[in-house]
């Protein structure tokens, strides 16, 4: 694995510290309730929401976020798909706004080639594909053309295996795996091979085991605890447990009460080899990251005499 990656002037040195990706959802139906737009909103409301999103992104950057991940389509179990045009209308103005106002890595959370291309042209410098190049065959060529890094996530999500409860939200049940870790590793490497075949070098690839995407509560717990086996593939790892249903179903907590559970998953994930953590609550999780790094990486950023 290459020891570092430079994205738009920002150097990420793997193993030296844990990097934080802050989540910015421009959706009306996010599972966590943090979406920044409403259904059927007016243009004036959208402009106001852009200002709110910019302020939120600036706050995240000020409190430890190295990357801001912008998403325009919910990926929760049972979520409604939207067109590429609608997704672009949501995300591109915000990408443009953030690129003009913040010195931070901007990630576009999409599996659609046209959305990724538009976002890159307006300032996004990282693509986060929750389908690992398996949803839109053109996306890999866009990533290769613009020479941006990509996060490839493992995903076996299926509506047929989604179960939704009013308090705790959606989860997946009954998706078959012969061997969870071996299957996840094999399918992640299938995504890597798609990337390689398009000329994307390994140093621009980050892997995500896909916590919450087509895994049961028990499988998600196992995946976090055995993250080191994913890390052994030789690529930097992004872990995204924030507010996910496996925490809610373990603790019987709704999405807005999963702070402590997320902190525990983040700490264990870092100890098991996560290089980037994707979180909603940047200020709180930054302290969890700093303390865990001090324990497992011997990395300190503050020294008080």
- Determine the Cα–Cα distance for residues 163 and 173; give it in Å rounded to an integer: 7
Q: Is the pLDDT of residue 256 over 60?
A: yes
Active-site residues, by number, are 244, 278
Least confident window among 10-14, 16-20, 166-170, 219-223: 166-170
* pLDDT > 70: percent of the chain: 84
Q: Is the pLDDT of residue 289 over 80?
A: yes
Confidence of residue 257 (pLDDT cuts 50, 70, 90): very high
Confidence of residue 50 (pLDDT cuts 50, 70, 90): confident
Give the pairing of strands 150-153 and 162-165.
unpaired
Helix (H, G, I), strand (E, B) or coil at 186: helix
Domains of the chain (ranges; CATH) run 18-296 (3.20.20.20)
- Determine the Cα–Cα distance for residues 246 and 250; give it in Å rounded to an integer: 6
Residue pointed to by tokens 């990533």:
143
**How high does pLDDT run on average in the chain?**
89
- Determine the Cα–Cα distance for residues 220 and 211; give it in Å rounded to an integer: 6
Q: Is the pLDDT of residue 148 over 70?
A: yes
Q: Which residue has the higher pLDDT, 79 or 210?
A: 210
Predicted pLDDT at 31: 44
Q: Report the candidate in 256, 238, 236 with the shortest Cα–Cα distance to residue 248.
A: 256
Give Cα separations from 39 to 14, 26, 86, 109, 239 (angstroms): 40, 11, 12, 20, 30
- Determine the Cα–Cα distance for residues 204 and 55; give it in Å rounded to an integer: 29
Q: Is the pLDDT of residue 93 over 60?
A: yes
Q: Report the candidate in 78, 122, 130, 71 with the shortest Cα–Cα distance to residue 100.
A: 122
pTM: 0.90
DSSP 74-108: --STTPPP--HHHHHHHHHHHHHHHHHH--SEEEE
User: What average pLDDT does range 193-210 have in this prediction?
Assistant: 98
Confidence of residue 175 (pLDDT cuts 50, 70, 90): confident
Burial (CB < 10 A; 0-12, 13-18, 19+), residue 55, is: exposed
Predicted pLDDT at 26: 86
Helix (H, G, I), strand (E, B) or coil at 30: coil
Residues listed for the chain: 305
HSE value, Cβ hemisphere, 13 Å, CA-based, for 148: 26
Q: Is the pLDDT of residue 303 over 70?
A: no
User: What average pLDDT does range 170-184 have in this prediction?
Assistant: 83
User: What average pLDDT does range 48-68 have in this prediction?
Assistant: 91
- Determine the Cα–Cα distance for residues 173 and 218; give it in Å rounded to an integer: 10
Q: Is the pLDDT of residue 302 over 90?
A: no
Q: Is the pLDDT of residue 45 over 80?
A: no
User: What average pLDDT does range 241-260 have in this prediction?
Assistant: 93
User: What average pLDDT does range 119-148 have in this prediction?
Assistant: 97
């Amino acid at each position: 694995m290459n020891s570092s990656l430079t994205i738009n002037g920002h150097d990420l040195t793997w193993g030296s510290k844990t990097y934080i990706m802050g989540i910015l959802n421009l959706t009306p139906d996010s599972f966590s309730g943090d979406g920044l737009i409403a259904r059927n909103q007016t243009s004036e409301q959208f402009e106001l929401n852009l200002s709110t999103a910019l302020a939120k992104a600036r706050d995240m950057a000020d409190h430890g976020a190295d990357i801001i991940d912008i998403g325009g389509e919910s990926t929760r179990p049972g979520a409604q798909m939207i067109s590429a045009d609608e997704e672009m209308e949501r995300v591109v103005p915000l990408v443009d706004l953030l690129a003009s106002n913040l010195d931070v890595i901007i990630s576009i959370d999409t599996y659609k080639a046209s959305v990724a291309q538009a976002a890159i042209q307006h300032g996004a410098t990282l693509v986060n594909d929750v389908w690992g190049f398996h949803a839109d065959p053109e996306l890999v060529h866009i990533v290769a053309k613009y020479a941006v890094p990509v996060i490839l996530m493992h995903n076996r999500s299926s509506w047929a295996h989604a179960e939704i409860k009013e308090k705790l939200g959606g989860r997946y049940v009954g998706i078959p795996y012969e061997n969870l870790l071996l299957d996840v590793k094999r399918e992640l490497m299938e995504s890597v091979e798609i990337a390689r075949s398009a000329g994307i070098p390994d140093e621009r690839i980050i892997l995500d085991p896909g916590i919450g995407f087509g895994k049961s509560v028990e499988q998600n717990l196992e995946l976090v605890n055995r993250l080191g086996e994913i890390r052994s593939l030789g690529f930097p790892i992004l872990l995204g447990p924030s507010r996910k249903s496996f925490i809610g179903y373990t603790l019987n907590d709704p999405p807005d009460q999963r702070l402590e559970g997320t902190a525990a998953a983040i700490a264990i994930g870092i100890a098991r080899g996560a290089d980037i953590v994707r979180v909603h609550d940047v200020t709180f999780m930054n302290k969890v990251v700093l303390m865990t790094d001090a324990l497992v990486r011997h990395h300190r950023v503050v020294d008080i005499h």
